[in-house]
Amino acid sequence: MATSYTLSVIKADVGGFVGHSSIHEDLIDEARERLEIAQDQDLIVDYHVTACGDDLQLIMTHHQGEDNEEIHRLAWETFEACTRVAKRLKLYGAGQDLLADAFSGNVKGMGPGVAEMAFEERRSEPIIIFMADKTSAGAWNLPLYKIFADPFNTAGLVIAPSLHVGFRFEVHDVLERKNILFDTPEEIYDLLVFIGATGRYAVKSVYTKNGEIAAASSTQRLALIAGRYVGKDDPVCVVRCQSQFPAVGEVLEPFTKPHIVEGWMRGSHHGPLMPVPLQQATPSRFDGPPRVIALGFQLSDGHLVGPRDMFDDPGFDEARNLTNIIANHLRCHGPFEPHRLPMDEMEYTTLPQVMEKLKDRWQPLPDLTPA
């Protein structure tokens, strides 16, 4: 009888080293110590601590299900402990993503990003965890579409009987806080109407047609929670691979074409998402370009066997080169759109303060509407 496990990836930026470019090893050590105790107390089965840019990533397996108060408390208290370390070292932006003073049941809505899924472990359970820095929650829409709905990306959709029926996408409207399901391939045109607007609609999860979870992402938008600019969401996404799901190589393939995401410097620019090995997940040029890492694990009775650093492969060298070419070209535009985000998406950046300062200097022009 297969046992049910929950995989929780909970992340937060609680202090950068140097600036917003990376994380100090002491934060990783502190988080490891905390999760080790939780493992000894049997709250979690296994854990892995890592970082992408300035974001601390807690990867945990357990039996408590999604949205579990004890697991979320563990993550929150771990972030608080790491914040204390960050403050001691005077790291940059210590405690940045902890938007609440005290834990209140669930870290969602309190600053950290969360991707969780509960499932019965298969005979062999390969998973890939994507983690990004200097970008926003909608960054997974395009790759998730390609992985689960694009036959030019995923050969299995055409030639593997187990994938041929297609998948079901759950999409969140992050502004109006509602969700909708789309079946693919039947409804791909309807689906694309929404998920092409990455600032508002985010693919939350993907299921097989008989309801098995295939992928889950974090859709928390920091700016909407805080009501002001407090750094980017820097989202995470978990994808199950092989057999009834796309193969590992099909899951990684969308990242060979660096797509343009919002984020980068001051969370206010469009830039290409660069797939990098862990040691290069240190955005420095113009605080970027935005980065994505992919860590692969095999689950074994809930234990995280791994990770394998999936983008540490010359197969992604061209994507990295292309990212730099696109980045150079976008940088030529300086403060001009489309490098800088359009006005309405700047609402949650530092721009409103400048506009407020100048609002009384604008003088009305004569009305030209015909009498």
Q: Which residue has the tokens 């694990």?
A: 297
Q: What's the one-letter identity of residue 229?
A: Y
Give the CA angle between residues 297, 300, 47 to the nearest 5°.
Answer: 60
Give the strand order in the sheet containing 113-120. Answer: 46-52, 55-62, 4-12, 113-120
Query: Is the CA virtual torsion 77, 205, 155, 240 positive or negative?
Result: positive
> Residues in contact with Mg ion, total (CB under 5 A)?
9
* Closest residue by Cα to residue 287 from 53, 47, 64: 53
* Residue 232 is a binding residue for ligand F6R (CB under 6 A): yes
SS3 category, 353: helix
Pattern 76-105, Mg ion, x by CB under 5 A: -----------------x------------
Residue 267 or residue 296: which is nearer to ligand F6R going by CB? 267
Task: Choose the stretch contacting ligand F6R; rule: CB under 6 A; options: 32-40, 75-83, 265-273, 354-362.
Answer: 265-273
Query: Under rule CB under 6 A, how many of the chain's residues touch ligand F6R?
Result: 11
Q: Which is nearer to Mg ion, 54 or 345 (CB)?
A: 54
116 binds, among ligand F6R, Mg ion, none (CB under 5 to 8 A by kind): none
- Rounded to whole angstroms, the Cα distance separating 3 from 41 reads 20
229 catalytically annotated: yes
Could you tell which of ligand F6R, Mg ion, none binds residue 345, using a CB distance below 5 to 8 A set by kind? none
Binding Mg ion (rule: CB under 5 A), the pick from 133, 250, 309, 345 is: 133
Please report whether residue 234 would count as binding Mg ion according to CB under 5 A: yes
List C-alpha distances in Å: 302 to 1, 46, 88, 169. 14, 7, 35, 26
Stretch of 28-36, 49-57, 99-107, 274-282 lying at the interface with Mg ion (CB under 5 A): 49-57
Q: Residues 27, 28, 32, CA angle at the centre, nearest 5°? A: 115
The entry of ligand F6R, Mg ion, none near residue 170 (CB within 5 to 8 angstroms by kind) is: none
Q: State the Cα–Cα distance between residues 132 and 319, nearest whole angstrom.
A: 16
Please report how close the Cβ of residue 25 comes to ligand F6R at its closest, in angstroms: 20
Q: Is 54 in the site for Mg ion (CB under 5 A)?
A: yes
88 CB-near residues (< 8 Å, 6+ apart): none
Catalytic choice (5, 47, 229, 348): 229
Q: Is 16 in the site for Mg ion (CB under 5 A)?
A: yes
Please say if 204 is a catalytic residue: no
Binding site for ligand F6R (CB under 6 A): 19-20, 93, 134, 231-232, 263, 265-267, 287
Q: Which residues are catalytic?
A: 13, 229, 232
